[in-house]
Structure 1
Amino acid sequence: MPRARKGHALRRGGQRRGGGARNSTQADSPSSDDEATSEVLSHYSSTSEGASIAEESLGNEVVDEQAQQEELEEKLKERIDDVADKSAKTRQGALESLRLAFSSRVLLDFLLERRLTLTDSLEKCLKKGKGEEQSLAATVLTLLCLQLGSGPEGEELFRSLRPLLVSILTDTSANLGARHSCASALGMCCYIAAADVEDLISCLACLEGIFTGACREESSSALAPLQALHCCALQAWALLLTICPGTHINRVLDSQLPLLPQLLSSDSVHLRIAAGETIALLFELGRDLEEDFLYEDTDSLCSTLRALATDSNKYRAKADRRKQRSIFRDVLHFIETGECQEETIKFGLECMYVDSWVRRRTYAAFKETLGSGVLHHLQVLSWDLPCPILPPPSPKGLVLHWFTLPPWFSQNNELLRDIFDLGPVLVLDAAAMKASKISRFEKVCGGPDLPIDSF
């Protein structure tokens, strides 16, 4: 897994404390004892009533959410069946619905029971589908692999469909959009579920063969339609470098680092940025292997990076210039000083530090795959349930009534938390629950979900 600083922080909410106990100077008497007893019983009675209301409210909320979950699962079953429909339009609609569902929710238990059926349907879409359908199928395949994780199920999925992804990616007559999605799918699925180093090296070689032609091509205009594909392949290749053994990194430093600066003059701002970030990543990996790592053409490279970091050409879009300058300032600063600009990603009550180019590439890859759902997959919290509801004291002692949430209520994507070294899921105590401003269900499920009708 990527080498990165472990760490996640919990912003703990404060808790108001009541005043100290009052000292009573009232003389003991039967009437005063009765009044005190009455006051205590009244207090516990109101506490019990409040607890009952809270228990009933929570129970109703869980029942409602469980009903919504069951409705969602029924809709997803229909969508999975529709992926094998005879109508191409129906299949595309089903794939789009699954894309939305898999990126916005954690559905591991549901998918484990249907993974073989869905895998077969996705394979048929990739083999027989056209353009958009192949692209959607590759995207859903990536999300399915992400849901299944790095266990045996994920490995089996990747092993069975990897040859098909490679075939479409390397087919120059295939639809470009499908090739883009297959490049991203190959990189992400290999990162998650590659069983051995040989699989990893094979995927790296395949992706390398896609973008290296752009490094050697003298005329950039001849490759203009392929620039988006080169960018996808380069980013997927860079992601796999983050988990490569050191021996292969040394080979890459010798063979690819001298070629990548040529992509900095590309007409595509996205390809220029991808090349700059990959160069910074290679410098970081090289310095991890050798503290005194040196690149022969560092001066020339820094001059190019400095020009891009201060680029003010009017023929480039203003937003592109701003983004390019910001990223290349970071790249130049890192190559000159070895310091990576730290970014803090906040989700729920936690935060994650992105303080290296390895972590930047890894987080960017998952963000590109999951979209806004990446925070949902990271921040799913576990409520401290079963939770005790305290009734009034009884002669037999304190009795606790327990209320248990269904298993699906506190699922989280363990794969992402493991990759980013976030540790166990946080358990919210009463103080943190009260201090937080998000709703109770969002505390449990990690954020607002898309409406069921979206699927």
Structure 2
Amino acid sequence: MGKRNSQRKNAAMLDFDDDDSASSSSTVPSENMQVSGAEEVQPDKEALLDQSLDALYEKRGSTRENALSAIIEAFNSNLQNEFVEKKFVTLLHQCVNSIKRGSAREISLASHAVGLLALTTGPGDKAQEILEESVLPISQALKSRHETSKISSLLECLAIITFVGGNELEETEKSMQMIWQVVHPKLGSNVVATKPSPAIITTVVSAWSFLLTTMDGRTLDPKNWQESISYFSSLLDKEDRSVRIAAGEALALIFEIGNLEKFSGEAKGPKDSSGHEGNKTREFAHIQGLRAKIVNQVRSLSVEAGGKGSAKKDLNSQRNSFRDILEFLEDGYSPETSMKIGGESLRTTTWCQLIQLNFLKHFLGGGFVKHMQENEFLHEVFGFNPKKKHSSETDPRVSSIEKRLYKSPNSVLNKARTQLLNKQRMISRDKNTGHYAVGFGGEEALEVA
């Protein structure tokens, strides 16, 4: 009973209550607890993290899984800036080893831990190292199409580490291609096509859309994405509601970016007597036809009646989502959302912001509020300024390392990402009473970072 009580105490110290997390039922292995005679010594949070990090070297897979669970809980319940400053390399390399050699559950947990590590460090050299070290192991792990939870965790991790650490257009497009190939694999002699589950399709579309929010639509390579809008349109006809909603939001984002022609492909056929002008006319007609088809699909889903055994909550969620999408496609108005965090309102006014918010909220689970209150990178992403409980300059509880992190903007955000996010907020502020022109590229296209 003594060891069990010790485990419960240490789990309670982590103050974690996210029921959706894969780590919610695990604690630190009992062999790592410090016991002195009949009296148990309860380690502080830093010691608990150190013990969990040491446990990642153990041969027993279940021991590593429990350690990863404890690390996830700790990173959710508090921003581990000081721990990351000291142990970043060790934690990253051990998590990458787990992705390479672990069970499906260990891979899922390690992937989530790597994503949390990236969000904690914020953009900079560490985030770039995370991306460089993790992309290949993630790519290799994605090739084994078995457990849905493992594939979904790998996809979410890839999206997060690219969002934080990807500074070049090529890096982001490479990750988007890796995500895309999970549902559209490049078949070879040793590759067998497998039908992805609805849960995996939903994660693919959500992760792909999340990264698209960081892209300038004018720089996208149309050859890479010409099949995407037709694919998303086909997903609107699927039975799974999560798939439909993810596809609908991806289409709304594409329309918001305003480069529909880059995602729909060019009209096929030989040039007629009018040459280039004839091609442009056919292309415009092709795009208009696609747009009309999508609007009709969205309209139907916004008023869909419930089928047999249909969950009312899911049906209402779908109707609400597609009413928002329909209003945007027909009138150009994006949904505006607001939530209170620590007495301050976190607002979104574009599909870009809403997709980013929903993805990060899902990924962080029970740690979302804590990160939104204290994570300066997320403050920059959403232009959110929470009330500060204390000053890092005067509070004795704040370490010298944390003070350095607060003082040095380059340790949190690099210049390229800052400019990108500032541009996104500027677009939101300059929005004319919430109205967006949904164009087809060129000067009419709305640029959303």
TM-score greater than 0.5 by the shorter chain? yes
Q: Which secondary structure state, in structure 2, belongs to the residue aligned with residue 147 of structure 1?
A: helix
Q: Do 2:304 and 2:319's aligned partners in 1 also have CA atoms closer than 8 Å?
A: yes
Match of 1:217 in 2: none
Letter in 2 for 1:300: K
CA contact (8 A) 1:385 1:405 kept: no
Q: Corresponding residue for 2:254?
A: 282
CA distance in 2, matches of 1:385, 1:355: 30
Q: 1:354 aligns with which of 345, 348, 354?
A: 348
Structure 2 counterpart of 1:382, from 377, 388, 399: 388
- Per-residue CA deviations over 1:80-129 (Å, capped at 9, x if unaligned) read 11122122111111111111111221112211211111122112211111
Distance 1:97 1:289 in 2: 47
Correspondent of 1:89 among 62, 67, 73: 62
Q: Kindly state the Cα deviation for residue 383 of structure 1 after the two structures are TM-superposed.
A: 4.1
Structure 2: runs of 5 or more not aligned: 1-41, 186-193, 263-283, 375-386, 426-449
State the alpha-carbon separation in 2 of the partners of residues 376 and 239 from structure 1: 21
Tell me by how many angstroms 1:207 deviates: 1.3
Per-residue CA shift, 1:23-79, capped at 9, x if unaligned?
A: xxxxxxxxxxxxxxxxxxxxxxxxxxxxxxxxxxxxxxxxxxxxxx98110111111
Pick one of 229, 234, 238 that aligns with 1:262: 234
Using the alignment, how far apart are the partners of 2:131 and 2:346 within structure 1? 29
The offset of 1:346, in angstroms, is 1.7
Taking the aligned partners of 1:205 and 1:339, their CA distance within structure 2 comes to: 30
Residue 92 of structure 2 corresponds to residue 119 of structure 1: yes
Instruction: Supply the AA of the counterpart residue of 1:199.
Output: E
The one-character-per-residue Cα deviations of 1:115-159 (angstroms, maximum 9, x if unpaired) are 111122112211111111111111111111111111101111110
Deviations 1:329-381 (A, max 9, x none): 11111111110110012211322221110001111111111113222112235
Is 2:335–2:351's contact at 8 Å kept on the other side of the alignment?
Answer: no
Check the 8 A contact 2:124/2:412 in 1, yes or no.
no
What's the TM-score, normalizing by structure 2? Answer: 0.67
CA distance in 2, matches of 1:363, 1:107: 22
Counterpart contact for 2:302–2:318, Cα < 8 Å = yes
Matched residue SS, 2:57: coil
Instruction: Give the 3 Å change call, closer, same or farther, for CA 89–188 of structure 1 in structure 2.
Output: same
1:373-398 Cα distance to aligned partner (Å, 9 max, x none): 222112235345489xxxxxxxxxxx
Instruction: Find the partner of 1:319 among 310, 313, 322.
Output: 313
- Tell me whether 1:185 sits opposite 2:157 in the alignment: yes
Indicate the percent of aligned positions where both proteins have the same amino acid: 24
What is the identity, as a one-letter code, of the residue corresponding to 1:349? Answer: G
Residues 296 and 115 of structure 1, relative CA distance in 2, 3 Å threshold: same
**Paired residue type of 1:406:** V
Q: Map of 1:390-405 to 2, 5 A cutoff?
A: 404-405=396-397
Deviation at 1:194, TM superposition (A): 1.3
Count of residue pairs brought into register by the alignment: 329
1:299 is matched with 292
Relative distance call for 1:243 and 1:303 in structure 2 (3 A) is same
2:90 aligned with 1:98: no
> TM-score when scaled to structure 1?
0.66
Give the greater-gyration-radius structure (CA).
1
Could you give the per-residue CA deviations for residues 159-185 of structure 1, whole angstroms, max 9, x where no partner exists? 01110111111333x433211111111
Q: Do residues 371 (structure 1) and 365 (structure 2) align?
A: yes
Closer, same or farther: CA 311–77 of 1 in aligned 2, 3 Å: same
Q: Indicate which of 172, 178, 181 corresponds to 1:209.
A: 181
The CA distance in 2 between the partners of 1:75 and 1:238, in whole Å, is 37
Residue identity in the other structure for 1:299: A
- Structure scoring higher RCO (CA < 8 A, sep ≥ 6) equals 1
Question: Is the CA contact (8 Å cut-off) linking 2:306 and 2:312 kept in structure 1?
Answer: no
* Post-superposition offset of 1:289: 11
Counterpart selection for 1:228 from 196, 199, 202: 199
What is the Cα deviation at residue 256 of structure 1?
A: 1.7
Deviation at 1:414, TM superposition (A): 5.6
User: Which of 56, 67, 72 is the aligned partner of 2:45?
Assistant: 72
8 Å CA contact 1:138–1:181 kept in 2: the answer is yes
SS at match of 1:210: coil
Whole-angstrom distance in 1 between the partners of 2:199 and 2:136? 22
Change (3 A) 1:207 1:384: closer
What's the counterpart of residue 240 of structure 1?
211
Quote the Cα distance in structure 1 between the aligned partners of 2:99 and 2:326: 41
Contact 2:152 2:203 in 1 (8 A): yes
| Cα 1:113/1:266, change in 2 over 3 Å | same
Match of 1:163 in 2: 136
1:352 alignment partner, SS class: strand
> Which amino acid in 1 is paired with 2:147?
N
Equivalent residues of 2:183, 2:204 under 8 A apart: yes
Query: Residues 208 and 385 of structure 1: is their aligned pair in 2 closer, same or farther, counting only changes over 3 Å?
Result: closer
Letter paired with 1:372:
G
The alignment partner of 1:257 has SS state of: helix
Task: Provide the rounded CA distance (Å) in 1 between the counterparts of 2:260 and 2:77.
Answer: 36
Contact 2:156–2:203, Cα closer than 8 Å, also in 1 = yes
